Structure 1
Amino acid sequence: MTTTDDVPAVGDLLKDSPKNWGKWGPDDEVGSLNYLTADVVLEAAKLITSGKIFTLQTPMADPEGDPVWPGRSSAERRNVMDEGHYLAGKGPAFSGGAHYADDVMTCFLQGSTQYDALGHVWYDGQIWNGYDAKTTVGAMEKASVFPIAQRGIVGRAILLDMARFRNKDYLDKGETFTHEDLMACAEAQGTKIEPRDILVVRTGWIGKWYKVTHEEFFADFIEPGLTYSPELVQWFHDMEIPNLVTDTIANEVTVDPVSGVTLPLHNALMRNLGVTLTEIAWLDDLAADCADDKQYTFLYAAAPLKIMHGTGAPVNPIAIK
């Protein structure tokens, strides 16, 4: 089966790709996060030497707009109770006379720094672990973000500053790199990617959002990022990578320049291997500190919101050095 315009179907492109389906049993919904065992967490804790903390979420409901995938809207927050209600005689009265403020927010669950559910993207009628894609109808009954949120994510992470490695503030539109480039970047930083590392990849792309007009950011939209190859997928599989974190909206180059397939790594890594994807991370402050003290490995901790049946959920990851 192929699609039109000489672009192959995802199933054809990935027909020989490795799968981790069944590796952790027929009911698994957290995939490669299973690699983050207690021993891995304890080893990661040894990386804490200074106590420095970096939060990696972008602001939500920014009045100037949030960096989101084209077609999604920024989060919108509004007050539903504040001192104005009391001045108008509409605030509820409490014994003792206390006043309060309250607000609500409407947002795409994947409209900020967030974790994708493993069932978020699929092909050929099956999501992660072989669950039927019909389980997504109406609500994600299998492989939602909820089991990931319940479990939490803690492990050794390594920052791979691809923008600084290429002597750029941010990578160009559609600029690609491979797993070999990631290893070369680590070597240049004086570090090494270890099995079961959480990969935190900086392209400078989200930083660019705050430096240019939104019209410029979205014009001819194609993000920089990792590009698909069988060798890259096999490397992720062999290295038992549990989590890919990037400062882009979709974690990979938007359209694979060789096959023409859109976002093939969402399927090759997330659907097939169970690698969790964390997108829209704020990495510029962490990267500046890593460049200063030369410590590119750290304890990474994250727990997305416990949204039942969610295809994704906002998160504020923490890097501790």
Structure 2
Amino acid sequence: MNNHHSGGHSCWRETSRRGFMQGCGTVAALAAAGMSGPAAAEEGDVAALLDELPNNWGRWGEDDELGALNLLGSEQARIGMTVAMGGEGIETFPLQQSITGDAIFLEEDDFPTTTTGDPVFPGRTPARRGNVQDEQSYQQGEIEPLSGGMKFSDDKFFTDFFLQGTTHLDALGHAWYGDRIYNGFDAATTAETRTFAQGIEGCPEGEIEEITETRGLSRADIGQAAEAGIAGRAVLLDVGREMGDENGRLDLGTAFGLKDLKATASAQQTTIRERDILLIRTGAIARTRDSDATWDPLNEPGLQFSEDLVCWLANMDIPILGADNLAVEKVVQEIDDQLFEIPLHGATLRNLGLYLCEILWLEDLAASCAADNVYEFFFTGAPLYAEQSTGSPFNPIAMKATH
């Protein structure tokens, strides 16, 4: 067993402790998840839920901000590359969902919906880009070609672009409970002020909003993962194909756990090794591009918390857990008759330093895996390096051996 700081918890213990939680948005989440009414569970206490489960605080030093990515190095990169080179050729699969700008942006009461577009978590808004110059600009005399006749186009996002509004990697400081984030850093470090000099050289006065101060993470931001890069062996667990409907999709509201992950691995004849990057396909994101399928952001199928699951992730030293849904886990969960929202975010990001990757596009990779029964591949990439960010857009690449 790996040497995790567990606070005396036995990872194979069956008993558990449950308490009382302060929830934000729980009533809305309950209604969306179909759990409202007299039989709805009371709110639980995530601190009590996770109190004696393992954590990695101090494992890589008191000042560590990289977390479980410390587990990925030269050897894991070599193993991943060896896997990719084990066939007659290599298929490459970008795993990023495209940004169309046609986001599914409805009122809470309008879900579930068959509207298609870019999935966004409630509270985040659609991202729409547009050109600021192009051939039309030249034709209309708004701008002139460069010396010698060269022209170019340029564009920008005209609406707010949430850094976690598309396929992204969560920073370790993204989610916490109490007054501490990953590795015991003070939660106040999530609101570090950065001041900028007024005006930006080269920008005409009045064309941009004058922003001279922002807040962001001074500890455990996404820059740690961006600087380190990610490379290693990865495994796809296609739970949707194993447990889902004729389209290989789990039904809305489906919760699955460690036993289901192991059963899927067994059915695929897939071995999960220590330090593997683990990707889970549910079919949820594919629903957002299918006008015949219903989708509900707060009632997507997702991973269900259990003590055994958290202990298994810790003992297997899983550095990244990714899925094709908004939160990896089921957003609203009932655990021992008590209600929780995203408890696994606390167990993974905050306690284990295990990164979560959300809104992955896994359809093409999954089809290839099913065709030749090869579910292992080389996974590599790095998130957009945006300093102080709580998460960042990510286009990981899966390189898979072909047979």
- TM-score tier after normalising by the smaller chain length: over 0.9
**Alignment counterpart, residue 290 of structure 1, candidates 354, 369, 373:** 369
Q: Distance in 2 between matches of 1:63 and 1:244?
A: 27
Q: Distance in 1 between matches of 2:286 and 2:175?
A: 26
Q: Which ranges in structure 1 are unaligned for 5 or more consecutive residues? A: none
Scaled by the length of structure 1, the TM-score of the pair is: 0.95
Q: Which amino acid aligns with 1:113?
A: T
**Contact 2:252–2:296 (Cα < 8 Å) also in 1:** no
Q: Which amino acid aligns with 1:7?
A: E
Q: Which residue of 1 aligns with 2:168?
A: 114
**Alignment counterpart, residue 24 of structure 1, candidates 60, 68, 81:** 60
Q: Distance in 1 between matches of 2:353 and 2:252?
A: 27
Q: Which residue of 2 aligns with 1:76?
A: 128
Q: Distance in 2 between matches of 1:232 and 1:88?
A: 61
Q: Describe the SS at the equivalent of 1:46.
A: helix
The reply to whether residue 303 of structure 1 matches residue 382 of structure 2 is yes
Q: Which residue of 2 aligns with 1:10?
A: 46
Once structures 1 and 2 are overlaid, which stretch shifts more, 32-41 or 1-10?
A: 1-10
Q: Describe the SS at the equivalent of 2:93.
A: strand
Q: Distance in 2 between matches of 1:167 and 1:217?
A: 15
How far did residue 33 of structure 1 move? 1.0
Deviation readout 1:215-260 (Å, 9 max, x if unpaired): x4238x3121111111110110101000001000111011112231
Q: Which residue of 1 aligns with 2:149?
A: 97
How far did residue 212 of structure 1 move? 3.1
Q: Which amino acid aligns with 1:119?
A: G
Q: Which amino acid aligns with 1:134?
A: A
The reply to whether residue 60 of structure 1 matches residue 112 of structure 2 is no
Q: Which amino acid aligns with 1:9?
A: D
Q: Distance in 1 between matches of 2:252 and 2:325?
A: 11
**Alignment counterpart, residue 45 of structure 1, candidates 68, 72, 81:** 81
The reply to whether residue 251 of structure 1 matches residue 328 of structure 2 is yes
Deviation readout 1:21-74 (Å, 9 max, x if unpaired): 010011111211111121111111111132110010000134464111122112
Q: Describe the SS at the equivalent of 1:103.
A: strand
Q: Describe the SS at the equivalent of 1:260.
A: strand
Q: Which residue of 1 aligns with 2:12?
A: none
Q: Distance in 2 between matches of 1:150 and 1:2?
A: 39
Q: Which residue of 1 aligns with 2:308?
A: 231
How far did residue 2 of structure 1 move? 2.3
Write out the 4+ residue segments of structure 1 that deviate beyond 3 Å after TM superposition: 61-65
Q: Distance in 1 between matches of 2:151 and 2:244?
A: 53
**Contact 2:252–2:295 (Cα < 8 Å) also in 1:** no
The reply to whether residue 218 of structure 1 matches residue 236 of structure 2 is no
The reply to whether residue 166 of structure 1 matches residue 243 of structure 2 is yes
Q: Which residue of 1 aligns with 2:189?
A: 135
**Cα RMSD after superposing both structures:** 1.6
Q: Distance in 1 between matches of 2:179 and 2:278?
A: 29
**Contact 1:183–1:192 (Cα < 8 Å) also in 2:** no
Q: Which amino acid aligns with 1:154?
A: A
The reply to whether residue 280 of structure 1 matches residue 316 of structure 2 is no
Q: Distance in 2 between matches of 1:205 and 1:153?
A: 25
Q: Distance in 1 between matches of 2:147 and 2:68?
A: 52
Once structures 1 and 2 are overlaid, which stretch shifts more, 265-274 or 90-99?
A: 90-99
Q: Describe the SS at the equivalent of 2:398.
A: strand
Q: Which amino acid aligns with 1:94?
A: L
Cα–Cα, structure 1 residues 74 and 180, in superposed 2: closer, same or farther, change >3 Å?
same
Work out the percentage of aligned pairs sharing the same amino acid: 43
Q: Distance in 1 between matches of 2:44 and 2:334?
A: 13
**Contact 2:164–2:393 (Cα < 8 Å) also in 1:** yes
**Contact 1:116–1:145 (Cα < 8 Å) also in 2:** yes
Q: Distance in 2 between matches of 1:217 and 1:167?
A: 15
Q: Which amino acid aligns with 2:99?
A: M
Q: Which amino acid aligns with 2:232?
A: G
How far did residue 93 of structure 1 move? 3.5
**Contact 1:61–1:74 (Cα < 8 Å) also in 2:** no
How far did residue 270 of structure 1 move? 1.2
**Contact 2:66–2:220 (Cα < 8 Å) also in 1:** yes
How far did residue 278 of structure 1 move? 0.3
Aligned residues: 319
How far did residue 167 of structure 1 move? 4.2
Q: Distance in 1 between matches of 2:235 and 2:328?
A: 16
How far did residue 125 of structure 1 move? 0.7
The reply to whether residue 201 of structure 1 matches residue 237 of structure 2 is no
The reply to whether residue 85 of structure 1 matches residue 162 of structure 2 is no
**Contact 1:174–1:254 (Cα < 8 Å) also in 2:** no
Once structures 1 and 2 are overlaid, which stretch shifts more, 297-306 or 41-50?
A: 41-50
